[in-house]
Amino acid sequence: MSRAREKSLKTKAYRIMRLYILFSILVSAVLFSPHVDASQVKFGSLCSGNPSNSKRGCDTKYGCGNYGASRDSGKRKHMGLDIVCADGATVYAPFDVKLNGKATPYKKDNAINNGISLSGEGLCFKLFYIKPDSYSGTLKKGQKIGTMLPMQKVYPGITSHVHVQMCDKSDPTKYF
């Protein structure tokens, strides 16, 4: 066998070995790294004054705060879960989160048309009716996200609340 042919075969064998090692490392990382099981995630306290994340019940005029509650005389459903939060209260990160930008609940502007899209613990969700301190970056569990907006200016008499909506519009209730 010629020296050139022998060198070529050694180079190919070396490359194959490197690929095999890299592949083994990647497979090990996937199989043995700790995965977040989103079904086990529970939201920490979202709002000052409501450490247990009490859910909004039903208001005579405005309906109920549970996922799937009727809206517009049955024409649509409530696609989130409302967590009681007083106007002006501090809103906290429920776990370590990434801030993914602004999210707004309404097409038309009003005093509470603000919110934020977040991700963490394998979940993607939005919080509405808050004024975030920032729309990007990361926060640790319990750090301030922002401030509850003046819901009473738009819906007088409603139980003020943070609206929690999953990005895929699935039911967030199991996380509370």
CB 148 within 8 A of CB 160: yes
59: tokens are 């208001």
Cross-strand bridge partners of residue 120: 123
Alpha carbon distance 83, 57 (integer Å): 9
- Give burial (CB, 10 Å; 0-12/13-18/19+) of 31: exposed
pLDDT at site 40: 87
CB 150 within 8 A of CB 112: yes
Cross-strand bridge partners of residue 131: 147
Listing DSSP states for 28-60 in one string gives: HHHHHSPPP-GGG------BTTBTT-PBP-EET
What digits encode the pLDDT tens for the residues 113-130?
999 999 999 999 999 999
Q: What's the topology of domain 38-175? A: Glucose Permease (Domain IIA) (2.70.70)
What digits encode the pLDDT tens for the residues 44-70?
999 999 999 999 999 989 999 999 999
Phi, psi at residue 137, to the nearest 5°?
A: 110, -160
In the chain the beta strands, taken as DSSP E runs, fall at 58-59, 63-64, 70-71, 76-77, 81-84, 90-92, 97-102, 115-120, 123-128, 130-132, 136-139, 144-148, 161-166
**Residue ranges of the domains in the chain?**
1-33, 38-175
CB 173 within 8 A of CB 67: yes
pTM of the complete model beyond 0.85: no
Question: In the chain, which residues have pLDDT < 50?
Answer: 24, 26-34
User: Cα separations (Å) of 63 from 91, 112, 174?
Assistant: 23, 18, 21
pLDDT at site 18: 61
pLDDT at site 38: 72
